[in-house]
Structure 1
Amino acid sequence: MKFNIKKYSIGLLVILTISATSCKKYLDEKNYSNFDKSNYFQNAGQAQSFVNGIYTSLYMFQNGDAYGESPFITIELFAGHATSLGQSVNNGNVINQRTDAVNPGFETVWRSSYNAIANANLALDRIPKMAIDQSTKDNLLGQVYFLRAFFYYHLVRLYGDVPLVTTPVEVNSPDLYASRAPQQDVYNLIISDLEAAKKTNLPNTDQTGKVSLGAVKTLLGSVYLTTAGYPLKKTENYAKAAAEVKDVLGWYTLFTDYAYLHDNAHKNQGELIFQSNYLVGVRDNAIPQLTLPFNLQVGSYGDHLGAMIPTDDFVASYEQGDLRAQERQFYFSSYPKDKEPQTIIQFGVHALYKYFHVESALGNGISDENWTFLRLPEAQLIYAEASNEVNGPTQDAYDAVNAIRRRAKLSDLSGLSKDQFRIAIWKERYHELAYENKAYFDVQRTHQTYNPTTNIFGDATTTPTEQGVKFKEQYYLWPIPQREINTNKNLKQNPGW
């Protein structure tokens, strides 16, 4: 649903996105133009529909256009390990570190996140007052606490100090034109929300696309790991991160085939902890088109945008024999031509097989592959890194990372010092979680970046990318979108922008 709120600051008014409560889960977004919040929260079905609507804001990360611009690509290009072969000037400007505050991706994430937060605030205000079954009420509140934390977590990492609004906002509310709150205050709310979600009756795992306790604890582990690094440097949070995800490691199982990460049959299963869910006929996406080589007829898609293409240097940085770097595992460099399977197209580049959707490529070109926000290997690597910072490399930490390496047909890590183990875990994060929107956030919290040509880490602002570009210090944060600065005079721009 499109809703024009350009007159209203940062989008803190209620933007309602309601979906039907059925097997479609939160996929089916409807517009209720006569919505009246004073009489809407009357029964459990209405409350569930409203909460389902909050999930739809997750789609903004995969929103794209004919030029190949999408927030999940913008986030990845900031890390410096991808090229863009398409027509997007904005993508090229990000890669070469000459973008500005009018980049549409910055506004998309800001606006959509605050829309979701506005709806979460309303749900948290109204659901506790409802006369419905307590178990249902607790489950709904657990989902909403997680979702509000999730969107604030992206906002605070991308923009730094951001407006912190926790109650419903009306046109005359003082929070309509809110000032930026310190990052520590935002993280305090995120942690508080996730702790509140833990106390509800969420199931350990969920295969329907909704929030689970596993998702809550994994996200909280990520939050603690992040706050242990820059800029807060709360090193006592390493122990909290390890403790938070330890239970999660036993609730999920690694897939035996990397293809299961991006097919339809294994959505929300196995190692997949939290995904944004899609379904043909209800909600689809352009993830395959955005990540296929530019203008090559691979699959039955109308567009092949080449918006995010891994660099050859990065693909070559995997250890010798690593299954993930082999053809049609995480990457691929050739494929049969659409409708002419006897003709093999050589790409001339490495594309992301990790995001290739066989069902739509061989079908009608309409993709409904899910986007993964959290999966088991991230929880394993959070545990390994965080516990190492507290106790050095324990057997449990080795077990967590070696399970990932064994699946990749690599030898176990062993006999490493604390410093050596830290670097080994960082490399595993880059190689296992490649192009999943983790690398840029790792640069932010460590101020180190991976150089694939030398296979070592260096200072982020002095180590050139594969394109020969050095990371500008201002790029540790995104700029506040210029439209928001123009509308809300209480917002001040980030340094350098």
Structure 2
Amino acid sequence: MNTKIKNITVLFLLVIFSAGCTKDFLSETNKSAITQENYFTTASQAQAAITGIYPMLHTFNQEIEFRGDAVWSLLEMPVGHIGLGGSQYKDGSIKHTNSANEPVYKMVWSGFYNGISNANLAIEKIPGITMNDAKKKSLLGEAYFLRALYYSYLVKLYGDIPLITKPINFSSPDLYPERSPKEKVYDLIVSDLLEAEKMGLPKVDNTGKASLGAVKSLLSGVYLTMAGYPLNKGNTHYQLAAAKAKEVLDGGYYKLFDSYDYLHDRAHKNKDELIFQVQYLAGVKVNRITEFISPSGISKLTSDLGTVVPIKEFVESYEANDKRTQEKQFYFTEDYARGSTTKIIKFAPALYKYWLEEGAGKNGDGNSDQNWTLLRLPEVMLIYAEASNEVEGPTSYAYDQINKIRTRANLVNLKGLTKDQFREAIWRERYHELAFENKAYFDIQRTRKVYNLKAGKFEDAFSYINESGVKFNQQYMLWPIPQSEIDVNKKLSPQNTGW
């Protein structure tokens, strides 16, 4: 398998990193010829090994052939809530007409398996290093968490995938691996996260590294996914999801921001409700998130690409008076023209949720270095509400979770709902609160439901025609295995359905 062959060389990119600083896992330049045979002997090398697992998270924001598309934006497009136009591939993603040869499918596959390779090496080698035991355990906790995180995306995106847990070399039996059943992949994810829980990680971390709160939050989401399609574990895993989410909520690990501005500024990175983010820093590692959402003529950044623009029906699907739809909360419709402090440009609603004022605004410095959020407190609150509702119907504690989110949005509290009504209320809140955070596509996978924006209700994913004129078919419940991988390793056949 050619990805694995490349991973043999990628493994040693990690040796350049020094220990302990957020800046360290923002760069991947290889400056060392050290091999694994003479490496992994000191505590600083153990730290460097862990630091080397993080950079592959930048795959989410990696641009695809300079098209104005990135992995995160293309995860949103099959849902149908982004307007057409910008690139052929973007439109193909929205219309569900792409081929298995599209570069994004290989990009994610290779990037995340590279992260897994580095995690596997750390997990195997660090136990043999003589160093402080508590620090050793904590580092291993990070490795288990990150391996689980990478696998959690790969299994949701590709289904049955190779399950690699040991370092690869040219004589390894897994150099050309077979696909493992998705249930076995989930078993490893759960096992890794349970192991990470025991490793003495700090409850929270404000530097961008893994924490106990991040471990528990991810695990609650994994259990929720396992409860639905395609595994259909049902009540046992709804109970597990609710219990794990409640540990986070009761533990006081995180708190909601009192301003939506804090979701996308520099001062509040990795703080309060932001559980786990991909790290960026001006002068070290930047991204084009703000450029992707920026309407023409306003940004101080390199360009205004405007490729990730919500359709008006989505913005209009929020309840009346929802604070999130007010100007410069989650969306905006005007801003200063580039280079002007007086001229205002008006435009269709755009994602202010990802606007970095310090970089792109009228007084901005031209740097796009906002973090990309993978886990946020409102998601954990809604996981608890949804999972507990499936087991015992609406409870006061479940109402508390969703109503805290609604109160911040200036909406009335929910009450007196049936189990079915409460379920749909939670799903709607996920669409609105977690909008464009790469949750909707995975919600469609696990529920087989899509949101009818105009009717405000949920429809069967395989029969409803969305606002982009598309209905899901079985093909788009998964991404294809990259065709170039199958061409090299026939054990990866057959291709996913429809591709």
Give the TM interval when normalised to the shorter protein: over 0.9
- CA deviation string 1:277-296 (max 9, x = no partner): 11011111110001113xx1
- CA deviation string 1:306-363 (max 9, x = no partner): 221111000000000100011110011111101112111112x211100000011132
CA distance in 2 between counterparts of 1:33 and 1:83 reads: 46
What's 2:267 paired with?
A: 265
Distance 1:271 1:10, change over 3 A: farther
What's 2:150 paired with?
A: 151
Paired residues of 1:50 and 1:123 also in contact (CA < 8 A): yes
CA distance in 1 between counterparts of 2:4 and 2:149 reads: 21
Is the partner of 1:26 in helix, strand or coil? helix
State yes or no: 1:78 paired with 2:78: yes
Is the partner of 1:205 in helix, strand or coil? coil
What's 1:21 paired with?
A: 19
CA distance in 1 between counterparts of 2:467 and 2:427 reads: 18
CA distance in 2 between counterparts of 1:465 and 1:140 reads: 45
Distance 1:22 1:148, change over 3 A: closer
What's 2:308 paired with?
A: 308
What's 1:165 paired with?
A: 164
2:487 maps to amino acid: N
Superposed displacement of residue 428, structure 1: 0.3
Among candidates 251, 254, 275, match of residue 252 of structure 1 = 254
CA distance in 2 between counterparts of 1:416 and 1:478 reads: 36
CA distance in 2 between counterparts of 1:84 and 1:36 reads: 48
CA distance in 1 between counterparts of 2:2 and 2:107 reads: 16
CA distance in 2 between counterparts of 1:10 and 1:419 reads: 49
What's 2:136 paired with?
A: 137
CA distance in 2 between counterparts of 1:125 and 1:62 reads: 29
Distance 1:463 1:128, change over 3 A: same
What's 2:416 paired with?
A: 415
CA distance in 2 between counterparts of 1:74 and 1:195 reads: 31
Distance 1:470 1:66, change over 3 A: same
State yes or no: 1:290 paired with 2:286: no
Identity %: 51
2:381 maps to amino acid: Q
Identify, as 1 or 2, the structure richer in helix. Answer: 2
2:201 maps to amino acid: L
Superposed displacement of residue 30, structure 1: 2.9
TM-score, normalising length: structure 1: 0.96
1:21 maps to amino acid: A
Aligned pairs for 1:86-485 within 5 A: 86=86, 88-235=87-234, 236-249=236-249, 250-293=252-295, 296-347=296-347, 349-362=348-361, 363-485=364-486
1:234 maps to amino acid: K
1:345 maps to amino acid: I
Superposed displacement of residue 42, structure 1: 1.4
CA RMSD, aligned part only? 1.3
1:488 maps to amino acid: N
CA distance in 2 between counterparts of 1:271 and 1:419 reads: 28
What's 2:489 paired with?
A: 488
Distance 1:209 1:427, change over 3 A: same
Paired residues of 1:253 and 1:376 also in contact (CA < 8 A): yes
Specify every segment of 5 or more residues in structure 1 that has no aligned partner in the other structure, as ranges: 1-5
Paired residues of 2:78 and 2:95 also in contact (CA < 8 A): no
CA distance in 1 between counterparts of 2:100 and 2:222 reads: 26
Aligned residues: 488
CA distance in 2 between counterparts of 1:254 and 1:162 reads: 36
Superposed displacement of residue 169, structure 1: 0.8
Distance 1:156 1:344, change over 3 A: same
2:323 maps to amino acid: L
1:495 maps to amino acid: T
1:367 maps to amino acid: S
Q: Judge which range, 66-75 or 238-247, deviates more.
A: 66-75
What's 1:3 paired with?
A: none
Paired residues of 1:13 and 1:176 also in contact (CA < 8 A): no
- CA deviation string 1:235-273 (max 9, x = no partner): 110000000011212211000000000000000001000
Superposed displacement of residue 14, structure 1: 5.2
- CA deviation string 1:432-453 (max 9, x = no partner): 0000000000000000000111
Specify every segment of 5 or more residues in structure 2 that has no aligned partner in the other structure, as ranges: none
Superposed displacement of residue 85, structure 1: 3.5
Superposed displacement of residue 22, structure 1: 5.0
Paired residues of 2:4 and 2:168 also in contact (CA < 8 A): no
CA distance in 1 between counterparts of 2:239 and 2:31 reads: 46
Distance 1:8 1:373, change over 3 A: closer
Superposed displacement of residue 126, structure 1: 0.2
Is the partner of 2:25 in helix, strand or coil? coil
Paired residues of 1:17 and 1:54 also in contact (CA < 8 A): no
1:218 maps to amino acid: S
